Structure 1
Amino acid sequence: MKVYTLDLSFLDIPQAIAAFLVEAGDTHILIETGPYSTIRQLEGSLQALGKSAAKLDAVLVTHIHLDHAGAAWYFAQKGIPVYMHPIGAPHMADPSKLLQSAQRIYGDQMERLWGTLKPIPEACLHTVSHGEELHIGNCRIKAWHTPGHAIHHVAWQIEDHLFTGDVAGVRIGGSLVVPPCPPPDIDVEAWDQSIEILRRQAPGQLLLTHFGAYTDVLPHLQELQERLHAWADWMRPHAETGRPAQEIVPLFQDFVHSQLRAAGLNEQQIARYEAANPSFMSVAGLLRYWKKKFEKQKTENQ
């Protein structure tokens, strides 16, 4: 089996978003599609390997966020089956709510960042249960439901390769591991459980959409878990006081960027992390996490 990491050059920034081509004999599977805004780069990368987008055997996406699955419809239109979590599938069949949510966040930058999103015919949509094993050509693939970053998240395992989407964090150039925490599904406790699921598989490699393959699996996951809790703890007092998100964003950016600078990253490298994992999104996600947690605690105490 061969695995190719395809750099999608998102916003002309290297190592921000990856897709992966798995080749097992005459079987070819694409894991992650990136946004439709990078489809030409993805097609060019496939062609450079002597492959055709139209001749893939399957597309697997870890979750339906646009930087991971925004171009999945393009492959479905070619008749290629697309596999995902059952909670995500209805939003790919009818992406209107997904588009509305993204439009609220990104406004007039929507097209530049993500491009077009079209419905996927239900005949091309396939869902997987937790622990299910798929047999696609010469590949056997295990699906692991791994919420925490997104409730509809799947990590895909082929042999000792674990394609982790966002549940194993963001790490660029072997530097810091950071947790992407956008709304609406951030759940620290569920994420802890998902990290333990990853550990139990004892993979030889974690393949991150943001960005690339890492073999120091246990230290990587430990760092992710510690930083996830550190970021959530940093946000808690701001959530308790009800401080507006727009006031918190620059403070949180300073907090995150100081960690990256302390690790030796320059401003260009920090910009890569921001492209892959915008700080302002983690503010919104972590504030929502604490709000839901406080509401649950209040209800339980009544």
Structure 2
Amino acid sequence: MQIHPIDLHFQGQTEIIAAYLIETGKDLALIETGPGSTLPTLLEGIRTLGYSPEAVKHVFVTHIHLDHSGAAGWWAQQGATVYAHPRAVPHLVDPSKLIESAQRIYQDRMQTLWGDILPAPAERVVTLKDGDAVKLGKTVITAIDTPGHARHHHAYAIGDVCFTGDVAGMKLPHSSYVSVTAAPPQFDPVAYGDSLQRLHAANFSKLYLTHFGEVTDVAGHLSRYASRVEQCYECISDLLAQGLKGEALREAYGAAERAIATQVGVSDADWAKYEGANNTAMCADGIALFCEKSPR
């Protein structure tokens, strides 16, 4: 088995969104598709590796946020089989609610950011439950139910490596700062902690983050990230207790995160990448939503 990371150059930036092409023998598998806006880059990346996109027969969706699976419907329409969490499958077959929700948020930036979001033919979509495995030649890809960022989230294990989607956060390859992925509406710090503990107990040798790349210090990363999830939750809880809401809350949370990043040497250019992959204003909204629904 060979793993090929492909940088999708989201919005012209490197190290924002990755897709992973997996050699499984006769066919190819893809973990993460990225959004429709980066589909041409993904197809070119596959060709650059010496493969035809038509050889991609299996597509694994970690969750249905558009930066991860916006192009999944296109692949299904080409005849690939798409695998996803039970809660995600209906939205792949009929993405109208996803599109409507995203349109309200992104308005005239919708097409530029996310491109076309196509429905997946129902017969091309396979539901995977926790622990379900797909055998592709000698390669076995196993779904791991990992809520916390989203209730419809799978990580995928192949042997002793794991493709984590958003459940292990966002980190640039050369940086020690880890950004907590907490976009609304399903952030849950308790579920997050349980999922991270589960990944920790699996003793993976490597993690592959969608945002962004390979992590070899698995135990250290998961431990630090669990602490960061709690830290960000505490930060929003404290800001809410101070009476901050709306834009004031977003600005305060963004400033707090920028200060943490600055302490470990994150440059302005790299901070722009962090914000491009995992916007702090949106994360503030996601954490605040949990706090409002589940007050202490």
Q: Which amino acid letter does the alignment assign opposite residue 78 of structure 1?
A: Q
1:272 paired with 2:258, answer: no
- Give the structure-2-normalised TM-score: 0.97
Alignment check: 8 A CA contact 1:245 1:283 kept: no
Match of 2:162 in 1: 162
Residue pair 2:173, 2:214 contacting (<8 A) in 1 also: no
Q: 1:241: Cα distance to partner? A: 5.3
- Counterpart of 2:229, as a letter, is L
Aligned to 2:294, the other structure's residue is in SS state helix
Q: For 2:134, what is the secondary structure of its paired residue?
A: strand
Residue 20 of structure 2: aligned partner: 20
**Partner of 2:126: helix, strand, or coil?**
strand
TM-score for the superposition, normalised by structure 1 = 0.95
Report how far residue 242 of structure 1 moved.
5.1
**1:291 corresponds to 2:292:** yes
Q: Would you say the 8 A contact 1:157–1:163 is kept in 2?
A: yes
Residues 30-79 of structure 1, C-alpha deviations (whole Å, 9 max, x = no match): 00000000011000000001112222120001000000000001110111
SS at match of 1:126: strand
What's 1:300 paired with?
none
Corresponding residue of 2:171: 171
Instruction: Give 1:115's aligned residue.
Output: 115
Q: Deviations over 1:63-108 (max 9, x none)?
A: 0000000000111011100001010110111111111111111111
Provide the C-alpha distance between the structure 2 equivalents of 1:254 and 1:156, rounded to a whole number of angstroms. Answer: 34
- In 2, Cα distance between equivalents of 1:156 and 1:25: 18
Instruction: After TM superposition, give the deviation of residue 239 of structure 1 in Å.
Output: 2.8
Q: Give the distance between the partners of 2:29 and 2:147, measured in 1 at CA.
A: 23
Q: C-alpha distance in 2, partners of 1:140/1:156?
A: 10
> How far apart are residue 136 of structure 1 and its match?
2.3
Q: Distance in 1 between matches of 2:179 and 2:195?
A: 16
Structure 1 residue ranges without an equivalent (≥5): 298-302
Matches within 5 A, 1:1-302: 1-175=1-175, 176-240=177-241, 243-294=244-295
Point out where structure 2 has 5 or more consecutive residues left out of the alignment. Answer: none
Once the two structures are superposed, what CA deviation does each residue of 1:154-208 show, in whole Å capped at 9, x if it has no partner?
0000011100000011110232122110100000000001001111211110000
The number of aligned residues is: 295
- Secondary structure of 1:183 counterpart: coil
Describe the superposition over 1:110-148 as per-residue Cα deviations: whole angstroms up to 9, x where unpaired.
111101111111001111111112112332111100000
For 1:39 and 1:31, how far apart are their aligned partners in 2? 14
Opposite residue 264 of structure 2, the aligned amino acid is: A
Which stretch shifts more, 29-38 or 125-134? 125-134
Letter in 1 for 2:249: I
Q: Any conservation in 1 of the 2:74–2:119 contact (CA below 8 Å)?
A: no
Distance 2:158 2:280 in 1: 32
- Letter matched to residue 25 of structure 1: G
Q: Contact 2:35–2:67 (CA<8 Å) still a contact in 1?
A: yes
Provide the C-alpha distance between the structure 2 equivalents of 1:103 and 1:199, rounded to a whole number of angstroms.
37
Aligned residue identity for 1:234: C
Q: Which amino acid aligns with 2:156?
A: W
How far apart are the structure 1 equivalents of 2:265 and 2:183? 25
* Superimposed CA distance per residue, residues 211-269 of structure 1 (whole angstroms, 9 cap, x where no aligned partner): 00111001100110111111110100333455322111111111111111111111001
Range with greater deviation from structure 2 (121-130 or 238-247): 238-247
Q: Secondary structure at the match of 2:149?
A: coil
- Determine if contact 1:57/1:136 at 8 Å carries over to the other structure: no
Is the CA contact (8 Å cut-off) linking 1:130 and 1:144 kept in structure 2? yes
Say if 1:18 and 1:212, in contact at 8 Å, map to a contact too: yes
Identity of aligned residues (%): 38
Aligned residue type for 1:225? A
Instruction: Output the aligned Cα RMSD.
Output: 1.1
8 Å contact from structure 2 (residues 150, 187) kept in 1: yes
CA contact (8 A) 1:27 1:138 kept: no
SS at match of 1:107: helix
Answer yes or no: is the 8 Å Cα contact 1:53–1:75 preserved in 2: no
